[in-house]
Amino acid sequence: MADEEQIPKAKHPQWVARRKEEHWTSKKWRPMMGWMYMTVCIFDFIIFPALWSLHLGYVHQPITQWKPLTLESAGLFHMAMGAVLGISAWKRTEEKLNDKI
């Protein structure tokens, strides 16, 4: 029992077996969050402004500036996504460093 207490959880066979059994969403949520955030930014800052200008030109309205939806509420979406991605990247780095020990 004393030997088991000295072994870090990351190297313990039971923990390694549990880590291998993780569902794919548990392993891939960080990259999915990054891709989702990148997609939202591309649409909100590139594609939608272009489509907005084309639409207003098509219906013969004066062209007005596109107001990014994610910048409403003082950009809370970007602050939240920055926190989620930043903390998850930091924790992932810690996980990788702990696995190498």
15 has a pLDDT exceeding 90: no
State the residue range of the domain holding 59: 28-100
98 token code pair: 């702990």
CA dihedral angle for residue 50, residue 53, residue 58, residue 62, rounded to 10 degrees: 180
80 is a domain residue: yes
Q: Which residue has the higher pLDDT, 83 or 99?
A: 83
Q: How many domains is the chain built from? A: 1
pLDDT in tens, 46-85: 999 999 999 999 999 999 999 999 999 889 999 999 999 9
| C-alpha 76, offset from chain centre | 15
Give mean pLDDT, residues 17-39: 81
36 is a domain residue: yes
10 is a domain residue: no
pLDDT in tens, 1-13: 455 555 555 566 6
23 is a domain residue: no
Residue where the block lists tokens 């313990």: 12
7 token code pair: 């072994």
91 is a domain residue: yes
- Residues 76 and 59: their CA atoms lie apart, in Å, by 33
- Residues 81 and 36: their CA atoms lie apart, in Å, by 10
In this prediction the pTM is: 0.69
